[in-house]
Structure 1
């Protein structure tokens, strides 16, 4: 007789079908948080670009690539690790305000 192993959500310990997954509730929360993070990054880029335009700032290659990757992204998964820090530093340098991602 085979006993089926019960797996639990990695966040809330709810029963799930496969090991290492999230339950539907946690998955929806994570997805909403990811969408908000991407939206915040795009807003910070727009604000920093406005400040850069006013001051005549010349962008570096890393900033330009990072900005392009975020603005073209459909989800936070397609944004490489560390790009958020580059955008945050750019935002802080241009506006003098703390990044909010």
Structure 2
């Protein structure tokens, strides 16, 4: 069927075959349409990755919020100047 969209070829290796078997059990209405099963798997994978990315970002922000300012006052106002004092000019 003509399309302006890019097409992709995929070889049904053992791991892809196993993924399709799981997809057939999950979406039995698509069992006889491997292209549709692959599309569903890709979309579910994309949603899972997006969710994981959001969760990772949230966890990182929480860690920053919890530790932000923990070292306030530890280093004096001249600390960087002293640290750089022996650097070549």
Output the TM-score relative to the length of structure 1.
0.34
Relative contact order, CA 8 A, sep 6+: which one is greater? 1
Output the TM-score relative to the length of structure 2.
0.38
Which structure has the larger Rg over C-alpha atoms?
2
